[in-house]
Amino acid sequence: MTESRCDVVILGAGLAGAAAAWICAERGFSTIVLEARSRAGGRGFTRHFSGSQDLLEFGGGWIAPWHDRIRHYAKRTGITLRPTHPITEHLVYSGGHVAMSPALETIKADALLHKSGKSFSGSLTQYLDRIEAAPKDRDYVLAWWTISGNGDPDVISASEFLSSCAYGDGRPESMMMALAHTLVPGAGILAERMIASSGATLNLDAEVTAVADGTVTCADGRTFITRAVISCLPLNALASVSFTPELSAPKRRAIQLGHGGQSIKLWLKVKGVRPGILASGGPGGLRWLFAEREAEDGVTLIVGFALADGTLDPDDRGSIERSLARFFPEAELIAWDWHDWIGDPFSRGTWVALPAKESWICNAEIWRPEGRIAFATSDFAPAAAGWFEGAILAGEAAGREIIL
Ligand SMILES: Cc1cc2nc3c(=O)[nH]c(=O)nc-3n(C[C@H](O)[C@H](O)[C@H](O)COP(=O)(O)OP(=O)(O)OC[C@H]3O[C@@H](n4cnc5c(N)ncnc54)[C@H](O)[C@@H]3O)c2cc1C
Q: Mind spelling out the 3-state secondary structure of the chain?
A: CCEEEEEEEEECCCHHHHHHHHHHHHCCCCEEEECCCCCCCCCCCEEECCCCCCEEECCCCCECCCCHHHHHHHHHCCCCEEECCCCCEEEECCCCCCCCCHHHHHHHHHHHHHHCCCCCCCEHHHHHHHCCCCHHHHHHHHHHHCCCCCCCCCCEECHHHHHHHCCCCCCHHHHHHHCCEEECCCHHHHHHHHHHHHCCEEECCCCEEEEECCEEEECCCCEEEEEEEEECCCHHHHHHCEEECCCCHHHHHHHHHCCCCCEEEEEEEEECCCCCEEEECCCCCCCEEEEEEECCCCCEEEEEEEECCCCCCCCCHHHHHHHHHHHCCCCEEEEEEECCCCCCCCCCCCCCCCEHHHHHHHCHHHHCCECCEEECCHHHCCCCCCCHHHHHHHHHHHHHHCCC
Q: Whose CA is nearest to atom 51 of ligand 1?
A: 60
Q: Helix 15-26 crosses helix 187-198 at what angle (to 10 degrees)?
A: 20
Q: Whose CA is nearest to atom 53 of ligand 1?
A: 350
Q: Whose CA is nearest to atom 13 of ligand 1?
A: 60
Predicted pLDDT of residue 213:
86
Q: How far is the CA of 38 from the centre of ligand 1 (A)?
A: 14
Q: How far is the CA of 14 from the centre of ligand 1 (A)?
A: 6
Identify the CATH homologous superfamily for domain 3-45+185-259+352-401.
FAD/NAD(P)-binding domain (3.50.50.60)
Q: How far is the CA of 92 from the centre of ligand 1 (A)?
A: 31
Predicted pLDDT of residue 1:
60
Q: Whose CA is nearest to atom 6 of ligand 1?
A: 60
Tell me the sheet residues that pair with 337.
267
Ranges under pLDDT 70 in the chain:
1, 95-97
Q: How far is the CA of 44 from the centre of ligand 1 (A)?
A: 6
Q: How far is the CA of 229 from the centre of ligand 1 (A)?
A: 19
For a mutational test of ligand 1's pocket, the pick from 70, 233, 339, i.e. the residue with the most ligand atoms closer than 8 A to its C-beta, is 233
Give the CA distances from residue 232 to residues 6, 23, 110, 323, in Å, rounded to whole numbers and listed in that order.
Answer: 17, 14, 34, 36
Angle (CA) 70-177-388 rounded to 5° is: 25
Domain with CATH 3.50.50.60 in the chain: 3-45+185-259+352-401
Q: Whose CA is nearest to atom 50 of ligand 1?
A: 60
Predicted pLDDT of residue 337:
98
Give the CA distances from residue 264 to residues 91, 312, 336, in Å, rounded to whole numbers and listed in that order.
Answer: 20, 9, 13
Whole-model pTM above 0.95?
A: yes
8 Å CB contact between 313 and 67: no
Q: How far is the CA of 167 from the centre of ligand 1 (A)?
A: 22
Predicted pLDDT of residue 94:
77
Predicted pLDDT of residue 25:
95
Predicted pLDDT of residue 305:
98
Predicted pLDDT of residue 95:
63
Give the CA distances from residue 182 to residues 83, 85, 207, in Å, rounded to whole numbers and listed in that order.
Answer: 7, 10, 29
Predicted pLDDT of residue 333:
98
Q: Whose CA is nearest to atom 48 of ligand 1?
A: 42
Query: Which residues line ligand 1 at a C-beta cut-off of 6 Å?
Result: 11-17, 34-37, 42-44, 59-63, 207-208, 232-234, 237, 240-241, 265, 341, 346-347, 350-351, 377-378, 386-388, 391
Ligand 1 atom showing the smallest separation from residue 179 Cα = 8
Give the CA distances from residue 379 to residues 25, 232, 376, in Å, rounded to whole numbers and listed in that order.
Answer: 24, 10, 8
Q: How far is the CA of 331 from the centre of ligand 1 (A)?
A: 33
Predicted pLDDT of residue 107:
97
